[in-house]
């Protein structure tokens, strides 16, 4: 299987590499630009062709994807004088997969419309582990015709694609989902500390949680990692703090109180203060243990 549609890919990080890799496996020609030499080289080894700049990537591709870390990076690669929108042809499609604010995304959308470029917002629900297995869900908003054109590409690296209509709806849905994740992580940390203090066997407690009525795919996955005391980052505490700040900024601009999320932000900051900022955000479990007078070693 293959396609004559040329895909440009900007940003070869922990999410970008596996997603672009699936596109390559499906037979699409892929151009890659990334400041990460390691990520870029992984995609080249799978058949991608490196290009020297964002502008070159945009000029040569029919559809340009970006997978970048934050608002400032999106502004730079999308709106800069040598960025995607200044270089891509009219009628082409620009797709951003990042977790960024609705405000900056709207700036990009306005400029894309002015230049006759279709702009799709497709933030990813998942992490680096699920990206490697193609088990992520994508939330999509933007022009419907562009969505229909790009959907087969998205299907190569995601299990579900949810189209929400035009505008910034996908950005907001990603923040909604992540808000549930962060407050659930704090609740799980408190509950596990209580269970340990009460003398519950660690493995049995986590097995029971994973089979209980509250079990979800996320909870089962995290319970398995906590059982093994595996804090290898799927998303670091520092990175999820950035997402929480986006949630709280969106809440403020929409006059929505989010006291639990605000409290969880302070707790995640305390996790960083304990020197755990580069571990998975579930290091919040370690903080709850320390505050309860428990060891952070693996319980028996």
At residue 90, the pLDDT reads: 85
Q: For residue 177, is it within any domain?
A: yes
160 with 183, same domain: the answer is no
124-125/136-140 β-pairing? antiparallel
Output the domain CATH number for residue 159. 3.40.50.720
At residue 3, the pLDDT reads: 65
Q: Tens of pLDDT along 98-146?
A: 999 999 999 999 999 999 999 999 999 999 999 999 999 999 999 999 9
At residue 139, the pLDDT reads: 98
150 with 194, same domain: the answer is no
Mean pLDDT of 40-51: 98
Comparing 125-129, 140-144, 186-190, 259-263, the range with the smallest average pLDDT is 125-129
Mean pLDDT of 59-87: 97
Distances (CA, A) of 277 to 14, 92, 170: 17, 39, 28
Q: For residue 2, is it within any domain?
A: no
Mean pLDDT of 233-250: 96
Q: What is the mean pLDDT of the chain?
A: 96
Domain end among 167, 186, 218: 167
Question: With 70 as the cut, is the pLDDT of residue 2 above it?
Answer: no
At residue 1, the pLDDT reads: 42
Q: For residue 300, is it within any domain?
A: no
Question: With 60 as the cut, is the pLDDT of residue 181 above it?
Answer: yes
At residue 300, the pLDDT reads: 75
162 with 176, same domain: the answer is no
CA distance 177 to 174: 5
Output the domain CATH number for residue 184. 1.10.1040.10
Q: Tens of pLDDT along 148-172?
A: 999 999 999 999 999 999 999 999 9
When divided into structural domains, the chain yields a total of: 2
At residue 224, the pLDDT reads: 94
Question: With 60 as the cut, is the pLDDT of residue 242 above it?
Answer: yes
Q: Which domain holds residue 233?
A: 172-291
pTM of the model: 0.94
């Amino acid at each position: 299987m293959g396609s004559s549609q040329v895909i440009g890919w900007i940003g070869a990080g922990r999410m970008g590499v596996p997603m672009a890799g699936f596109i390559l496996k499906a037979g699409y020609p892929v151009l890659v630009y990334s400041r990460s030499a390691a990520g870029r080289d992984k995609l080249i080894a799978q058949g991608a062709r490196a290009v020297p700049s964002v502008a070159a990537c945009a000029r040569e591709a029919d559809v340009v994807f970006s997978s970048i870390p934050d608002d400032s990076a999106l502004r730079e690669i999308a709106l800069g004088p040598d960025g995607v929108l200044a270089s891509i042809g009219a009628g082409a499609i620009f797709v951003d997969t990042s977790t960024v604010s609705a405000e900056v995304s709207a700036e990009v959308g306005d400029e894309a419309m002015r230049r006759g470029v279709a702009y799709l917002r497709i933030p990813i629900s998942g992490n680096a582990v699920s990206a490697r297995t193609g088990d992520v869900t994508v939330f999509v908003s933007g022009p419907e015709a562009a969505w229909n054109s790009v959907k087969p590409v998205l299907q190569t690296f995601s299990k579900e694609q949810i189209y929400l209509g035009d505008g910034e709806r996908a950005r907001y849905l990603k923040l909604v989902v992540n808000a549930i994740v962060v407050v659930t992580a704090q609740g799980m940390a408190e509950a596990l500390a209580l269970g340990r203090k009460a003398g519950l066997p660690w493995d049995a407690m986590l097995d029971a949680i994973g089979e209980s009525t509250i079990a979800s795919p996320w909870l089962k996955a995290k319970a398995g990692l906590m059982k093994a005391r595996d804090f290898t980052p799927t998303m670091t505490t520092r990175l999820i703090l950035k997402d929480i700040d986006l949630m709280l900024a969106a809440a403020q601009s929409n006059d929505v109180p989010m006291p639990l999320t605000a409290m969880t932000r302070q707790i995640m900051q305390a996790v960083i203060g304990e020197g755990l900022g580069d571990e998975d955000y579930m290091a919040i479990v370690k903080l709850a243990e320390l505050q309860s007078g428990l060891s952070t070693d693996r319980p028996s």
